[in-house]
Structure 1
Amino acid sequence: MKNLISTNLKNLRKRYDYTQEQLAEKLNVSRQVIAKCEKGESLPDIQLCSQLAELFDVALDDLVNYSSKEVGVDVPPRGKHMFGIVTVSERGQIVIPKKAREVFNIQSGSQLIIVGDDERGLGIVPQHYMKKFFQQAFLAEEDDER
Structure 2
Amino acid sequence: MKSMNNLKNNIAANLRYLRTRRRLSQEEVAEQVGVTRQAVAKWENGDSLPDILNCGALADLFDVSLNDLVRYDPEQEGIPIGPKNKHIFGTVTIGERGQIVLPKKARDTLKLQPGDTLVVLGDSDPTTAGIALVSSNTFLQMTGKTIDAFFKGKEDKT
Q: TM-score per shorter chain, which class?
A: 0.7 to 0.9
Partner of 1:130: 139
Q: For 2:91 and 2:50, locate their aligned partners in 1 and report how far apart those are by CA, in whole Å.
A: 31
Deviations 1:71-112 (A, max 9, x none): 443222223222222222334332212222122210122222
Q: Could you tell me how far 1:129 is from its partner in structure 2?
A: 1.6
Distance in 2 of aligned mates of 1:58 and 1:36: 20
Aligned equivalents of 2:101 and 2:8: distance in 1? 31
| Cα contact 1:71–1:83 (8 A) shared by 2 | no
- 1:52 Cα shift? 0.6
TM-score for the superposition, normalised by structure 1: 0.79
The question of 1:101 aligning with 2:84 is answered no
Question: So what's the TM-score if we normalise by structure 2?
Answer: 0.74
Overall identity of the aligned pairs, in %: 45
Superposed displacement of residue 69, structure 1: 3.3
Tell me the C-alpha RMSD between the 2 structures. Answer: 2.1
Q: Tell me, what secondary structure is at the counterpart of 1:79?
A: coil
* Contact 1:71–1:82, Cα closer than 8 Å, also in 2: no
Decide which of 34, 38, 44 is 1:32's aligned counterpart: 38
More helix by share: 1
* Corresponding position of 1:63: 69
Aligned-partner SS, 1:94: coil
TM-fit CA distance, 1:22: 2.3
Q: Return the offset for 1:14.
A: 1.0
After superposition, residues 1-146 of structure 1 pair within 5 angstroms as 1-119=7-125, 120-135=129-144
Counterpart secondary structure, 1:43: coil
Query: What SS does the aligned partner of 2:120 have?
Result: strand
